[in-house]
Amino acid sequence: MENAFQKDTPKIFMEKPIWWKDEVVYQIYPKSFYDSNNDGIGDIKGITQKLDYLEKLGITMLWICPIFTSPMVDNGYDISDYKGIQPEFGTMADFDELLTAAKKRGIKIILDLVVNHSSDEHVWFQSALNDPTSKYRNYYIFKKGKNASPPNNWRSIFGGSVWEKVPNEENMYYFHTFDKKQPDLNWENPILRQEIYDMINWWLEKGISGFRIDSITFIKKDQDYADVTPDGADGLASVKHKGRNRPGIKDFLTELNRETFQKYECVSVGEAPGVTYEEYDQYIGHNGYFNMIFDFHYADIDVESGSEWFRRTNWQVKELKDQIFKSQEAIQRNGWGANFLENHDQPRSISKYINDPKYQNDIGAKALGTLFFFLRGTPFIYQGQELGMKNFIRETIADFNDVSSLDNYQRSMLEGFTSKEALEFVNQRSRDNSRTPFQWNASETAGFSESTSPWLKVVGDHKTINAELQMEQEDSVFYYYKKMIQLRNSSKYRDTLIYGEFVPVNTNDYIIAYERIIDTETIQVVINLRNQASFIDGISGEILLNNYSEITCERNGLKLQPYQALVLRKDKNHE
Ligand code: NOJ
Ligand code: CA
């Protein structure tokens, strides 16, 4: 088949197979996964108890969101002791037990590394705050204000100024990219950097397989700390302009890699928002800072800026397709990708990417699964995605827990939206959507806990969407994910699906199709991403996966049903 894009496809980045390319990662938000002691909060023992389930699904590695000691203002992304375990999650002995039990099943574990900031309750910060002469003051960023105002007009990611006034000191402020209870660590200080590297190596020595590295592009700030033209009704300007992926970050990231990850057989997955495709070589190339990074371009297709939810877009499938192709080409040209549809900061994918509620069902969940799972890179599945879990609709802002949801609600109203509109934005985008208790069964608390008051309310659709039910139904979303994992990792197409070149296929505006190619073997992935039938020409071959029970051949091609997804082995005669 003629492929309009093929001649432009850049040279593929090739290197020896490396273990982490073969993994299928499952992301766990521990607070919401399984509550083993019925206090309403998920915990580490809960993960250990559900390893059978994870093994059955077929995933090979877990990424567990922060389990370290924390006041939990941002659910663990505010760490007060990097080597301690948060008591509500369990103990270090529980973690060691999980590590061993997972290893027995061939499941590796990576943890979350949160080193752009700590909690304000960390002893370092407490010393820094209470004693201006303490060496710890230089572990953080303290600055004098300007004319009785904060040092500059940068807005934090969770709203309000990045500067918080130091109590009992005149005209002194400390810096926080996120919440005021998450003060930024001062990466300009080599002593602080060494402390961080020692801590990272301590965990790697313990036998974990690596890290997902949180917000890492924020560690370098423009040292002029100059004002920026305001970009909102609050008179502030996003910290992203001068506090994210800024010149000079290269030195920090090179050193971080050299002093830690490079010394171990581990994987490093960077959460690196703000990195342009031109910079991918530095981030994931041969001597890149990380093994892979997440690309947020199409995850945020529904909002102009990932952190301000009232700026909604009217995106079209064609744009989604273009963005996925652009992303894949950049990844392929430079290194390796960390592909995902969902995570703990995003709404559920069926609710985001499928506009017609009629298809926010098994068909839609499988279609989206197919779309992302066979892209070139390591797939990351977020808990509940393998069941097709969906967003909730909350009637009041009081039902939200997420710190950024509360901020976005206020910001929306400040920008002139009504409280009803503000609530709608938050319902659509809230990070709580993906943090609701995992739906294990149809019981009142969805089998997450025997406590009738889990820390966050359930979505409410667990009678029809839950793991127990899906494990009894051969055609469930769960089994579809299991089949996708088998096809990628254990079938004779493994090499093609893991290492094969990614090649976009030219189709109409509603179909997204691509090929994975090695030598003479070609696997085609085709998804009709709309609620009407669509035709595609020039596709034929053995069907390896289909989210419908049938396929209609018409004319010289296929008639795809609404949201139909197929994986085919391309006919060798049909070039
Ligand atoms: C990104 C994390 O994924 C998010 O959950 C957190 O709020 C921020 N970084 C701050 O650590
Ligand atoms: Ca618990």
pLDDT digits (tens, 9 = 90+) for 165-194: 999 999 999 999 999 999 999 999 999 999
**Where do we find the tokens 């073997």?**
521
What is the C-alpha separation between 434 and 439, in angstroms, rounded? 12
How many whole angstroms separate alpha carbon 374 and alpha carbon 370?
Answer: 7
The mean pLDDT value for 273-296 works out to 97
Q: 77: pLDDT confidence band, cut at 50, 70 and 90?
A: very high
Q: Is the pLDDT of residue 436 over 90?
A: yes
Token pair for residue 260?
Answer: 């830690």
Kindly list the protein residues whose Cβ atom lies closer than 6 A to any atom of ligand 1. 74, 77, 114, 178, 214-215, 271, 344-345
* Annotated catalytic residue within 271, 295, 329, 407: 271
- 540-566 burial, b for 16+ CB within 10 Å, e for fewer? bbeebbbbbeeeeeeeeebebbbbbbb
Q: Is the dihedral of CA 205, 206, 211, 215 positive or negative?
A: negative
Instruction: Quote the DSSP letter at residue 270.
Output: E
Residue 174 DSSP one-character state:
E
Alpha carbon distance 477, 474 (integer Å): 9
Going by C-alpha positions, the residue among 448, 467, 468, 466 that lies closest to residue 456 is 448
Distance 215 CA to ligand 1 centre (A): 7
- Residue of the nearest CA to atom 6 in ligand 1? 77
Q: Residue 39 pLDDT > 70, yes or no?
A: yes
C-alpha to C-alpha distance for 90 and 498, rounded to whole angstroms: 36
By CB neighbour count within 10 A (0-12 exposed, 13-18 middle, 19+ buried), where does 453 fall? exposed
> Residue 12 — very low, low, confident or very high, per pLDDT cuts 50/70/90?
low
Q: pLDDT-derived band of residue 4, with 50, 70 and 90 as boundaries?
A: very low
Mean pLDDT across 532-547: 94
Mutate to test the pocket of ligand 1, among 64, 178, 181, 435 (most ligand atoms within 8 A of CB): 178
**Atom 3, ligand 1: residue with shortest CA distance:** 345
Q: What is the pLDDT of residues 442-461, one digit of tens each?
A: 999 999 999 999 999 999 99
- Residue 353 CB: number of other CB atoms within 10 A? 23
**Minimal-distance CA residue to ligand 1 atom 5:** 345
Whose alpha carbon is nearest atom 2 of ligand 1?
214
Task: Give the residue, out of 31, 72, 77, with the most ligand 1 atoms within 8 A of its beta carbon, to mutate for a pocket test.
Answer: 77
- Residue carrying structure tokens 């992304």: 77
Give strand ranges (E) for 354-410. 378-382
pLDDT of residue 540: 86
Q: Is residue 75 predicted with pLDDT exceeding 70?
A: yes
Higher pLDDT, 270 or 10: 270
pLDDT band for 556, please (50, 70, 90 cuts).
confident
Assess whether pLDDT exceeds 50 at residue 3. no
CA separation for the pair 64, 67 (Å, rounded): 8
Is residue 316 within 8 Å of residue 509, measured between CB atoms?
A: yes
Among 198, 217, 256, 214, smallest CA distance to 114 is for 214
The CA distance from 237 to 155, in Å, is: 5
d(CA 144, CA 492): 63
Query: Which of 77, 74, 228 shows the shortest CA–CA distance to 161?
Result: 228
pLDDT confidence band for 562 (50 / 70 / 90): very high
Cα 540 to Cα 205, 480, 491, 523, 574, distances in angstroms: 50, 21, 20, 11, 7
**Taking every pair of C-alpha atoms in the chain, what is the biggest distance, in angstroms?**
79
Q: What is the pLDDT, as a whole number, of residue 9?
A: 43
- 196-200, 205-209, 308-312, 475-479: which has the minimum mean pLDDT? 308-312
- Least distant ligand from the CA of 448: 2
Ligand 1 centroid to Cα of residue 233, in Å, is 24
Cα–Cα dist 428/183, whole Å: 29
Q: Whose CA is nearest to atom 10 of ligand 1?
A: 77
Instruction: Say if CB 57 and CB 470 are below 8 A apart.
Output: no
Nearest ligand, CA 451: 2
Nearest-5° angle of CA 433, CA 437, CA 438?
Answer: 100
Q: Which residues of 92-122 are buried (b: 16+ CB within 10 A; e: fewer)?
A: eebbeebbeebeeeebbbbbbbbbbbbbbbb
Instruction: Confirm whether 231 is a catalytic residue.
Output: no
Q: In degrees to the nearest 10, what's the CA dihedral of 322, 25, 158, 346? A: 50
Q: Is 359 left (phi over 0), alpha (psi -120 to 50) or beta?
A: alpha
- Tell which atom from ligand 1 comes closest to the C-alpha of 177: 10
Q: What's the CA-to-centroid distance between 272 and ligand 2, angstroms?
A: 31
- Strands (E) across 114-190 are located at 142-144, 154-155, 163-165, 172-175
Closest residue CA from atom 11 of ligand 1: 77
**Of 23, 120, 214, 329, which one is the catalytic site residue?**
214
Please name which of 503, 379, 375 lies closest in space to residue 12, comparing C-alpha atoms.
Answer: 503
Q: Could you tell me if 547 and 396 are in contact, meaning their C-beta atoms sit under 8 angstroms apart? A: no
Instruction: Quote the ligand 2 centre to 88 CA distance (angstroms).
Output: 6
Mutating to test ligand 1, I would choose from 345, 430, 433 the residue with most ligand atoms within 8 A of its C-beta, which is 345
CB 435 within 8 A of CB 32: yes
Q: Sorting pLDDT into bands at 50, 70 and 90, what band is 573?
A: low
Ligand 1 centre distance from Cα of residue 472 (Å): 36
Rounded CA-CA distance 125/128 in Å is 5
**Ligand 1, pocket-test mutation among 214, 218, 307, most atoms within 8 A of CB:** 214
Q: How far apart are CA 283 and CA 257, in angstroms?
A: 11
Structure tokens at 264: 């171990």
Q: Is 271 a catalytic residue?
A: yes
| Ligand 1 centroid distance, CA of 252 (Å) | 20
Which ligand 1 atom minimizes the distance to the CA of 403? Answer: 7
Tell me what the pLDDT averaged over the chain comes to.
95
**Cα–Cα distance between 419 and 175 in angstroms, integer?**
30
Lookup result for tokens 């659709």: 461
pLDDT tens, 247-283?
A: 999 999 999 999 999 999 999 999 999 999 999 999 9
**What's the pLDDT tens digit per position in 479-495?**
999 999 999 999 999 99
Distance in Å, CA 55 to ligand 2 centroid? 22
Relative to the alpha carbon of 31, which ligand is closest? 2
